[in-house]
Copies of this chain bind each other. A is one copy, B any other.
């Protein structure tokens, strides 16, 4: 009997419990025409943070490893970097040294490695990297470090007429290069941080050149701003895992009608990582307090998830 239940289960990697039940109850309510919480398909907008919500973010955000690898790849063309911080620290694999430079140093590395190419060139650079680079501790491709329970949730929502959007502090063009293959989320449903682009005709060919200038930071207050700018509708479901998602939660929760707010709490140091209030990447402090106070759904990775990564199901 148990096996049969699992076959009909839209979320087989979620253990039975309050959170799984809350998700299914919510989806049933907003998709049943005779329910007073019914929502038309057009308005079934779900938003998901990426780092720490759809894939892991430890030891540090994976886009940073991309930037570090790019510094090394570009070092021959930039001999001055050997003596110039923060690039010197990167070339010496001194991550502590880089992080000690704070946001300013990180931004400098991101700008130097994400710009001065065309949108088509950048997409290819990201694709080459994401299909070959390996995670520093697991040795897996980064695209294997995605959460199986969240893949099932994305698929379940899509089948129920939702449109799933990513809204991440990560780079919009960095994500668009690969998320369609991995999460089945198309590029027009990806919102992220961006640098400016400039239209130019190069040798008779129109291109968009990436400029080393911040355009938009899709984090904290920026998340509802980005959601409103790109979608123009208020989501009915939001999931995230850090203080950077708090304003997205608040904006979503304040809409009229039934809402689902899900906070992923990283509690599993055996299968993944355990961290919250003191973490540099994925700091979860104020959002945890507010989730407790407002009785949002706090997903406990250790108890709620039967498996974490897709490869565990092959074992």
The number of chain A residues with a CB under 8 A from chain B is: 31
Q: Are B176 and A206 in contact (CB under 8 A)?
A: no
| Nearest residue, chain B, Cβ from A247 | B199
Residues of B within 8 A of A42 (CB): 186
Min Cβ gap A142→B in Å is 20
> A233 and B188 in contact (CB under 8 A), knowing A206-B250, A250-B206?
yes
Q: Could you say which of B186, B188, B221, B251 contacts A230, with CB atoms under 8 Å apart? A: B188
State A124–B161 Cα separation when bound (angstroms): 28
Q: Are A198 and B176 in contact (CB under 8 A)?
A: no
A90 CB-CB contact with B under 8 Å: no
Residues of B within 8 A of A206 (CB): 224, 247, 250-251, 254
> Which residues between 215 and 251 of chain A lie within 8 Å of chain B, taking CB atoms?
221-222, 224-225, 228-233, 247, 250-251
Q: Are A221 and B205 in contact (CB under 8 A)?
A: no
A212 CB-CB contact with B under 8 Å: no
| Nearest residue, chain B, Cβ from A165 | B188
State A225–B104 Cα separation when bound (angstroms): 26
Q: Are A229 and B197 in contact (CB under 8 A)?
A: yes
From A188, A194, A225, name the one whose CB has the most chain B CB atoms within 10 angstroms: A188
Residues of B within 8 A of A208 (CB): 224-225, 228, 251
Q: Are A190 and B221 in contact (CB under 8 A)?
A: no
A172 CB-CB contact with B under 8 Å: yes
Q: Write the A257-279 contact mask toward B (1 if CB under 8 angstroms, else 0).
A: 00000000000000000000000
Min Cβ gap A63→B in Å is 17
Q: Are A228 and B188 in contact (CB under 8 A)?
A: no
Min Cβ gap A256→B in Å is 11
> Which residues between 166 and 208 of chain A lie within 8 Å of chain B, taking CB atoms?
172-173, 176, 186-188, 190, 194, 197-199, 201, 205-206, 208
Q: Are B119 and A228 in contact (CB under 8 A)?
A: yes
Q: Could you say which of B197, B199, B233, B250 contacts A187, with CB atoms under 8 Å apart? A: B233
Min Cβ gap A238→B in Å is 12
Residues of B within 8 A of A205 (CB): 254
Interface residues of A (CB under 8 A from B): 42, 119, 172-173, 176, 186-188, 190, 194, 197-199, 201, 205-206, 208, 221-222, 224-225, 228-233, 247, 250-251, 254
